[in-house]
Amino acid sequence: MTETDLVLVERTGSIATITINRPTKMNALNAHLVAELARSFEALASSGEGEDVVRAAILTGAGKAFVAGADIGEMAEMTPIAAKRFADAGQRLCHRIEALPFPVIAAVNGFALGGGCELALACDFIYAAEGAKLGLPEVTLGVMPGFGGTQRLLRRVGAARARELVYTGDMVGAEQALVMGLVNAVFPAAELVLRARDAALKIASRGPLAVAAAKRVMLHGEGIDLASACELEAQAFAGLFGSEDQREGMKAFLGKAKPTFLGR
C-alpha cells in the first residue's frame, strides 16, 4: 500500500482500491485532495503492461463517509475566479475517471453529497452500503453543483428526478437511490467493498481491450444520435478482431477452456 496525505492506493493483482483518506473531515474535497485523486488515477492509468496493468478499480472512503461534500471552509472564501478554478479541477478529475481504460466502481460507504455524489457519478457504476445517503445539496448553500453533477445525474436517473434532487437539495437513502437507478445495488456495510471487489474481479477476468472499448463507446455514444453511436460501436467491434485477445477468447470458447487475456 502506498500512501499520500489524503489518498490510499492498494494494488492486489489487476485490481486497484483507491480510498479517500480524510476521515476527520468526512473526506470533504478541498483543492489538495482533488489534485491528489487526479494524480492517483493518472498513475494507475499508466501502470504496467500485460498482466500488471490495472483492469478494474474501486473508489471508496475512509471512516463514515464516502465524501460528505466539498470543503465549505475553503469554498466560503473563494472569489468567482477561484470557484471556477476549483470547478474546472473537479471536472477534470471526473472526466479523467470516465476516460480511464478500465472501469471504476464507486463503493459508497456513507455520505456521498455534493462533490462526493458527483465523484460517484463519474464512476462506471455505484454500489452503496445500507444507510448511505446521496444527494446534491448545493442549493442549500446558495450555490449549485460544479463538478458535472447536473449533467451526469440527469443522464443516470432522468431529467425529472434529477431536477427534483438538484432544485430541492434533498438527500436520498440507499434504497431510494436504488429504486431511481442512482445506484446499482445496496449491500450491508460490512460486505460493501467485498461485493465491489467481486464485481471488479469478474470484470478483470474479461478481455481488457473489449471492456475498454465498450466503456469508450458507451461514454461517447451517449451524447450523439443513435445511428452515429451504433456506427461507433460497429467500428470498435471490428477493431477488436485484430487483437490477440479476440483469438484467445474464441479459441478458448471453442475448446471449452478458460481464456487467458493479455490485453493485446
For 14-33, write each residue's pLDDT tens digit.
Answer: 999 999 999 999 999 999 99
Tell me if residue 118 is catalytic: yes
d(CA 25, CA 238): 48
Q: Which residue has the higher pLDDT, 263 or 61?
A: 61
C-alpha cell at 225: 444520435
* pLDDT single digits (tens) 214-256: 999 999 998 899 999 999 999 999 999 999 999 999 999 999 9
Give how far the C-alpha of residue 138 lies from the chain's centroid of Cα atoms, to the nearest Å.
21
Pick the last residue of a domain from 187, 204, 221.
204
Mean pLDDT of the chain: 93
The pLDDT confidence band at residue 50, using thresholds 50, 70 and 90, is low
d(CA 67, CA 23): 9
Tell me if residue 231 is catalytic: no
Report if residue 260 sits inside a domain: no
Determine which one of 118, 130, 233, 248 is catalytic. 118
Q: How far apart are the first and last CA of the chain?
A: 28
Q: Domain range for residue 248?
A: 208-254
CATH number at residue 196: 3.90.226.10
**Is 60 exceeded by the pLDDT of residue 3?**
no
* Same domain? 93 vs 158: yes
Q: In the chain, count of helices (H) and strands (E)?
A: 11, 11
> Model pTM?
0.92
Determine which one of 10, 51, 77, 138 is catalytic. 138
pLDDT at 172: 97
